[in-house]
Structure 1
């Protein structure tokens, strides 16, 4: 099942209906557009879902909503973007009225619900929502960050756990009126675990359901790959992982199974990096591991390769792989003739002893055109950019939040096979949070992530969000007339 294909197909249908991209012209068929012709148009409607942030009474959550300004081919007319609680009766949060300026909302309620967000018209292309939660004390203390998820039909989460000391909840949110039905598969080092209640889970329409993974199986497994398959409808999914000793964060969906993967943006001061990979094919996967540093690719000593058995989860402890310099993990296949697709992710730890915090960095889709992360703080946000194949020119734009200010942009070159780390400058004459947009101008294949670090009480609290392409523009086939069907 291909998530991107299903999502893109849905977006194309919406575009065709709303913009009239497919037209009935009548007359001579020779006047019809060639079958291969397609127009690239901005999406007209976007939907995201945000999981319930935290049940802790010590939690404070900020929602940041943002749509970047159009860079060409914009949509005319008016539109709006807002977040609505799954209960459906409360006042919408963070209503967005214009592009290029973020809107925010906050909550400190332990019973804060999941949210369903929609954006229409000119606010739809590239719309993103960031959910950032600080839990300043208690067993779940830490910084949790996630980009609210686009609903889909399949998700992979390498790095979950049912081990003692871990409490991992899979949050499922249905944005539609009709209920969705979901199957949950858990894969350990020996393959599929028998789940007692993981099949046929119903998510109510416009509702949400958290599923504690340890209630699905009796096994205490340190490293799991979670596969979410939607039988009917669509959902958004994310895993909230809490370790009783080293903190908490959101485990976001990993990039689709592929024979080459990139995890961009391992912090320079990472004290422990743990790789979890799962082979989705019917054959074993033999992987090569490389670290993209600021100067190029190197093979990490003692961890140059990883063997992953078919249908099983494998792990590798990479330790302090970055050695004081930020980097990106690049996974390839040592079998160039029959490479096997895998999914993968990292658990990253910063700090030592009782002053540790964890975050997760899944394999990240490439940025074809543009990506945005909505909630950034001055001197607390760090971008990691990694280029494959060719040197890549990248434009980084910081846009103001509700306090106002002036947009600031800069262009950087990312050398092929290397990682460039930088702190995005805040918008001028601005205070508070701001949005950062990354645009690929030319060159090779670009990957990116953002680390937000908000240390508290000696704990290096941090979270990492991958930056996939925002899919603000899609190709819409141009259809011509075929009136011969009326004669049949």
Structure 2
């Protein structure tokens, strides 16, 4: 075959190669230009990244569900559903509360009702919007003074001008005879879909009855998570508990977790929110050991604070708790760690004169998934604030006891972890016995303003307590201001973190209750709303 090697042929080949390369370069350049142009061109509306809009959620009504009276178990059906015996002849249960007006004295529509809806007390019917008067405008209050109740009840107050009403109530039970003699008090709580209760016990002589109240119009399906000293408890029958609208369901915890000296309960509800409380009572042989309503405390967090901790003489308590069956007759702190990591918890105890040393040191390891108890026996007598902190979230509550005689009746109360005080907390104060406001400040100084609410609906001039950091202050509540009975307080705080509680005691008796102050009312909230598909 003849091969063409002429110079003309070589030139043609090289020319074709250069032409092809130039064409390819032009195509690439054109493509790059198109890409650049596309990146600079306005994007279609559907592909833009837009920030989430904030939607205003109107403030809802203030709702507080009060537990019913304490009742003695008579028997059970199917292990957990209780039957109750009649109350003792001296048992009394009453609700006390207050609703604060808007500036200018206009009261929100408010009432105390049975859980099923029937009105027991009409506090206020509401009124026209307040006129825009310049300058400070006086507040007034609608009060509930010792309203007798025989079942769960509901305090409700309508929102006004985008602001949730400032309102609160508590139920107090007392009896001077029978197995449930003593005093028990609990805040009327806002229903929730997720709450924690710490301090129950199901050992011999201890009775714990969980009550679930549904004040909504939607059925609630409740599941319980149970934590004991040896870990989480898998209990058949603890899931899918139906609570119908306008009803209360009671569950004997010994049917789910028998023989537990320390028991915490995590209540989760799907559908309607519920109010949860545990009626806890102690009977040592034939000797009553107290009754209490265990209320929900703060959600799991890295720091928990409890105040209103009343401690009696350390030597006398140590002698009593050393007796058989009296190990839980002294003050203690319980820590529940719901996660999978142990919590190293630092505990600080603040009294009137500053921080006090704990008998066994101030650092403990709380096991994951279980309840750990820390004794406070040996601490000098007085009122205290307990602050516990860790790098792992946990739940906490403190046991408060009263009574030093082995053969005499005593009482018990649980102080749940509380919220930091802000502005305009309403604190109902029931009648009778000693009523003591207890405030604790942590690291630095705090200022507490407290104004008495009297039965005539007036909010009296404010007093101020200046609290040094790391101390606890107690303020006795007078029976009257002027000629009118004190039925509550409006409390506000400024400065460093401060916490508050109401201690209730009885002259000549070893009754005690410790009630953490409820959160203040909230206004409108803004929540991010993302649109997509």
Fold shared by both chains (TM-score > 0.5): yes
2:113 to 58, 76, 84: 84
CA contact (8 A) 1:399 1:408 kept: no
1:251 to 294, 298, 310: 294
Alignment partners' CA distance in 1, 2:58 and 2:476: 30
CA contact (8 A) 1:64 1:94 kept: no
CA 1:301/1:57 → structure 2, altered by over 3 Å: closer, same or farther? closer
CA contact (8 A) 1:46 1:120 kept: yes
Structure 1 residues 225-304: aligned runs within 5 Å:
225-244=264-283, 245-269=288-312, 271=317, 272-304=330-362
Q: Quote the residue 1:383 is aligned against.
A: 437
Structure 1 residues 378-417: aligned runs within 5 Å:
380-401=434-455, 407-417=460-470
CA 1:124/1:81 → structure 2, altered by over 3 Å: closer, same or farther? farther
Structure 1 position 93 matched with structure 2 position 121: yes
Q: Quote the residue 2:194 is aligned against.
A: 154
Alignment partners' CA distance in 1, 2:143 and 2:387: 33
Q: CA deviation at 1:377?
A: 4.1
Structure 1 residues 185-224: aligned runs within 5 Å:
185-217=225-257, 219-224=258-263
CA contact (8 A) 1:240 1:249 kept: yes
CA 1:415/1:378 → structure 2, altered by over 3 Å: closer, same or farther? farther
Q: Quote the residue 1:307 is aligned against.
A: 365
Q: Higher relative contact order by CA 8 Å / sep ≥ 6: 1 or 2?
A: 1
Q: Quote the residue 1:138 is aligned against.
A: 178
Structure 1 position 330 matched with structure 2 position 387: yes
Q: Quote the residue 2:76 is aligned against.
A: none
Q: Quote the residue 1:51 is aligned against.
A: 67
Query: TM-score by structure 1 length?
Result: 0.81
Alignment partners' CA distance in 2, 1:172 and 1:409: 37
CA 1:133/1:378 → structure 2, altered by over 3 Å: closer, same or farther? closer
CA contact (8 A) 1:376 1:436 kept: no
Structure 1 position 444 matched with structure 2 position 496: yes
Unpaired runs of at least 5, structure 2:
1-50, 72-86, 127-139, 318-329
CA contact (8 A) 1:78 1:121 kept: no
Q: Quote the residue 1:18 is aligned against.
A: none
Q: CA deviation at 1:426?
A: 4.9
CA contact (8 A) 1:405 1:430 kept: no
Q: Cα deviations across residues 161-189 of structure 1 (Å, max 9, x unaligned)?
A: 11111111111111111210001121111
Q: CA deviation at 1:290?
A: 1.3
Alignment partners' CA distance in 1, 2:312 and 2:479: 23
CA contact (8 A) 2:210 2:279 kept: yes
Q: Quote the residue 2:32 is aligned against.
A: none
Structure 1 residues 315-394: aligned runs within 5 Å:
315-321=373-379, 323-333=380-390, 339-353=391-405, 354-377=408-431, 380-394=434-448
Alignment partners' CA distance in 2, 1:424 and 1:226: 34
Q: Quote the residue 2:45 is aligned against.
A: none
Alignment partners' CA distance in 2, 1:392 and 1:451: 20
Structure 1 position 462 matched with structure 2 position 462: no
Q: Quote the residue 2:153 is aligned against.
A: 115
SS of equivalent to 1:183: strand
Structure 1 residues 27-42: aligned runs within 5 Å:
none
SS of equivalent to 1:157: strand
1:179 to 206, 216, 219: 219
Give the greater-gyration-radius structure (CA).
2
Q: CA deviation at 1:121?
A: 3.5
CA contact (8 A) 1:396 1:411 kept: yes
Alignment partners' CA distance in 2, 1:42 and 1:420: 37
Alignment partners' CA distance in 1, 2:104 and 2:203: 49
Over aligned residue pairs, what C-alpha RMSD do you find? 2.8
Alignment partners' CA distance in 2, 1:477 and 1:343: 27
Alignment partners' CA distance in 1, 2:247 and 2:104: 31
Structure 1 position 106 matched with structure 2 position 158: no
CA 1:439/1:77 → structure 2, altered by over 3 Å: closer, same or farther? closer
CA contact (8 A) 1:67 1:124 kept: no
Q: Quote the residue 1:21 is aligned against.
A: none
